[in-house]
């Protein structure tokens, strides 16, 4: 067999397999078309400059719970591919907090990914999706007493944005933080 004929056969085989790749099985409904722009538009409600108030519910070790205030700025970054998050706060349980992160949509994994860094040295990476109008992200957190699961819920509440943090130490998710972000007048 000549090298030219072999190359043509290989090219034809590759083209045939490429055409079939990614097609749904017969009888399977087609998946909705997801584009980067469509997915980014789902998290656009987070963009803005905010003042924040936080409530920390009572829990073992913090029987009275806690509260805090702060600021948060969320803006588009890197050609509007990601949201850049900068948060600073003070609360009665953890003291001063400063966190920076990037949130975007990963088209290969078809999910949102949030990587955060903070002044405690933590660097969790969350992943998840939109469930109705709520961004639901989860991760595993390593702590001195073991690993636990953390879930964050971000959604619009009128003109405000709510962030709820829930922790699961093996007995189901329990509220750990409820933060309300109020837009700063004149800043978006």
Residue 142 lies in a domain: yes
pLDDT over threshold 60, residue 34: yes
> Regarding beta strands 48-56 and 173-183, do their DSSP bridges make them parallel or antiparallel, or are they unpaired?
antiparallel
Nearest to 89 by CA among 187, 155, 177, 186: 177
In a domain, 20, yes or no: no
3 part of a folded domain: no
Residue 51 has pLDDT above 70, yes or no: yes
Residue 170 lies in a domain: yes
Cross-strand partners of 131: 134
Q: Which one has a higher pLDDT value, 14 or 140?
A: 140
165 located within any domain: yes
Average pLDDT over residues 42-47: 94
59 in a structural domain:
yes
In a domain, 88, yes or no: yes
CATH of the domain at 174: 2.40.128.20
- 122 falls within a domain: yes
Highest mean pLDDT among 57-61, 92-96, 142-146: 92-96
Domain count across the chain: 1
Is the pLDDT score of 71 beyond 60?
yes
Structural domain range at position 138: 36-183
- Beta strands per DSSP E along the chain: 48-56, 66-77, 82-91, 95-106, 111-118, 125-131, 134-143, 146-157, 160-168, 173-183
Is residue 1 over pLDDT 60?
Answer: no
């Amino acid at each position: 067999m000549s090298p030219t004929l072999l190359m043509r056969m290989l090219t034809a085989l590759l083209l045939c397999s490429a055409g079939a790749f990614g097609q749904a099985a017969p009888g399977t409904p087609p998946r909705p078309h997801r584009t980067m722009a469509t997915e980014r538009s789902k998290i656009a409600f987070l963009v803005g400059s905010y003042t924040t108030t936080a409530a920390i519910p009572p829990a073992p070790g913090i029987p009275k719970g806690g509260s805090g205030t702060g600021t948060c700025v969320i803006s588009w970054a890197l050609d509007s591919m990601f949201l850049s998050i900068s948060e600073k706060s003070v609360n009665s349980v953890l003291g001063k907090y400063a966190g920076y992160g990037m949130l975007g949509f990963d088209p290969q994994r078809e999910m949102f990914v949030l990587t955060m860094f903070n002044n405690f040295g933590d660097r969790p990476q969350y992943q998840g999706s939109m469930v109705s109008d709520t961004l639901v992200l989860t991760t595993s957190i390593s702590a001195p007493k073991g690993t636990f699961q953390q879930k964050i819920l971000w959604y619009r509440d009128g003109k405000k944005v709510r962030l709820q943090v829930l922790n699961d130490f093996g007995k189901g998710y329990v509220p750990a933080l409820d933060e309300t972000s109020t837009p700063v007048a004149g800043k978006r």
